[in-house]
Amino acid sequence: MSRERVTDRAFADDNRQFAAKMLAHAKRAAAALGTMPEVLVAQAALETGWGQHVMSGDGGVSSHNLFGIKADPSWHGETVRRATLEYFDGHPVRVTAAFRAYEDYGAAFDDYAKFIQSNPRYQRALERAAEPAAYARELQRAGYATDPDYARKILQIHEQLANQRAVPAG
């Protein structure tokens, strides 16, 4: 057996473990949004590198921020400041920003659902939530992320999850 195949299998196992760990939270948030939990797991996987790069605050305490949600003036909870890559006029620029911090992953999924529901700019995404591809495209169009390939990346991970059967149906 080649070393590459072992590495691929180990990576796939890590992906499945991440997906399984997030599934209950994703189901709750997906029900609130009218979308599929798999698309939310895919978005969290993209934002955190399959859970390997969840931001942490001073002292190494996890922010549990799975969706890269920044701390705007309406946020009254804990925050972490981190460098992030933003795209301006199609060019990547590294900036420092304040991000929301949560007690646990469940709180991150719950806040994500509230964030999407309470923000008028995501209305079209909510209207298309039953269709994962349309939901991801509408999030991108509304400016959820500055990465011009954001929707494509979510959908690519969503497809990987489906192909690996990493997120059990139901």
Which residues are catalytically annotated? Answer: 86, 111
- CA dist 126 to 1, 33, 105, 115, Å? 46, 7, 22, 12
Identify any residues that bridge with 85 across adjacent strands, giving them in sequence order. 94
Counting runs of H as helices and runs of E as strands, what totals does the chain give? Answer: 6, 2
Other beta carbons less than 10 A from residue 100's beta carbon: 24
Dihedral angle, C-alpha 131, 134, 138, 144, nearest 10 °: 70
Which pair of tokens denotes residue 147? 């990465």
DSSP category for residue 54: -
Tokens 């990576």 — which residue? 11
Query: 139 near 153, Cβ under 8 Å?
Result: no
